Amino acid sequence: MSSLWQQWRDEASWTNEAAQNSLNRAHNMAVAALERQTSFDLADQEARDSLFTLLGRFAAGMFS
C-alpha cells in the first residue's frame, strides 16, 4: 500500500512539474516575442528619425 501511495505522489509531482514547465515555456515565448517586436519598433523609429534628419538637412541646404 505504501508503494502505491508513493507512486501516486510521484505521478502527481511529475504532472505538476510538467504543467509548470509548459507555462514557463509559454511565458518565455511571449516575453521573447514582445522583446523582438520592441526591437523592431525601435529600429524602425530610428530609421525614420534618420530619414527626417537627412531630409531636414537637405532642405536647409537648399535654402541656405
Using CA atoms, how far apart are residues 24 and 16, in angstroms rounded to an integer? 12
pTM higher than 0.75: no
Chain Cα centroid distance, residue 62? 44
Using CA atoms, how far apart are residues 36 and 46, in angstroms rounded to an integer? 15
pLDDT at 63: 85
Dig out the grid coordinates for 62 from the structure. 537648399
pLDDT at 17: 95
- Tens digit of each residue's pLDDT, the chain (64 residues): 999 999 999 999 999 999 999 999 999 999 999 999 999 999 999 999 999 999 999 999 998 7
Half-sphere exposure of 8 (CA within 13 A, CB side): 5
Residue for cell digits 519598433? 41
pLDDT at 64: 77
